[in-house]
Amino acid sequence: MCRSVDHRQRPGPWLGAVWPAIVVGVTVFFLVIVASIDLLSVVPANVYGYAALVAYSLHQPSAAPATGP
């Protein structure tokens, strides 16, 4: 018997509040790595912009699944 898996759920629901911290940690690592590129070398601006984006997205309520047009 095959069991259906719903892939729309967050990966690892057992991680709870730790999952966003892991995602932010990994993406900040890449943010620091790309700081060696001249265009992205302004680290304080990158950090403030990234922090604002992540804080806004974490405080938004979950959207209902899209039903299409």
Number of domains making up the chain: 1
Residue 37 in domain: yes
Q: Measured in whole angstroms, how far is the alpha carbon of residue 28 from the centre of its chain?
A: 10
Provide the pLDDT for residue 24.
85
Provide the pLDDT for residue 9.
53
Task: Please state whether the predicted TM-score (pTM) of the whole model is above 0.75.
Answer: no
Mean pLDDT on 7-35? 76
The answer to whether the beta carbons of residues 10 and 22 sit under 8 Å apart is no
Query: Which domain, by its residues, includes 44?
Result: 32-59
Exposure class string for 17-30: b at 16+ Cβ within 10 A, else e:
eeeeeeeeeeeeee
Residue 46 in domain: yes
